[in-house]
Amino acid sequence: MSRGWRTGAVVMALAIFASGCYGPFNLTRRLYQWNGQIGRDKWEREFVFLILIWAPVYSIATLADAVVFNSMEFWTGKNPVDRPSAQQHDHARTKRLARKESNVLLTYASTPAGAQLLIEQFRNGQTAGSLRVEQRHGMTVGLDEEGRVLFTASSGSDGGIVIHNGSGEPVASYSAEDVERFVESARH
């Protein structure tokens, strides 16, 4: 065995044994997330994915995570590569609605904590307010820009819905029949 091979084997063994290989693999996840946002359909994403596999971009990212970044996190508690955001990782979908000088940006994300909807309103290119609606503890919660609870909505045992204001006081109640009529009217 030549000296170069022995040196390479020792370096590889040290890299494997000295690293905390099992970790968050943030670089690989970010690459995967980026790949998932490419193109307009699954065929374009698949084509880019195959090119990244063939060019060994995924392999290099995984090796860099395993040997360098995960090791750094293992030994120092800090990883220089940030985790992908939950909304992006969990496939956030965005829709823009425009009418004259007003725009509304709707961003829906399904996260491990539950579904979230961010509603951002713009007038003449300036922010005019936002509302975040998310699922928490079996109910729907509406929050303002500062994270203050504006309302909660929960299902009753009869299939109806009760809405409370930010102070927890009930402000509206809808029976199961009311909810069913609303759903039917929304479908048409």
- Number of residues that this document lists for the chain: 188
* Residues 6+ positions from 31 with CB-CB distance below 8 Å: 52, 57, 58, 61
**Predicted local confidence at residue 16, as pLDDT:** 53
Instruction: Say if residues 134 and 153 touch (Cβ distance below 8 Å).
Output: no
Higher pLDDT, 4 or 46: 46
Q: Residue 157 above 80 pLDDT? A: no
- Are 103 and 50 contained in the same domain? no
Q: Which is nearest to 137 in space by CA: 153, 161, 120?
A: 153
> Which domain range does residue 33 map to?
3-83
| Domain final residue pick, 83, 106, 129 | 83
Fill in the amino acid letter for 39. G
Q: Do 38 and 55 fall within a single domain? A: yes
- Across the range 50-74, mean pLDDT stands at 83
Residue 169: partners with Cβ closer than 8 Å, 6 or more residues away: none
Domain shared by 62 and 41, yes or no: yes
pLDDT reported for residue 101: 83
Domain count, the chain: 2
Is the pTM above the cut of 0.75?
no
Q: Residue 83: what pLDDT? A: 80
Q: Which of 149, 144, 87 is nearest to 120 (CA)?
A: 144
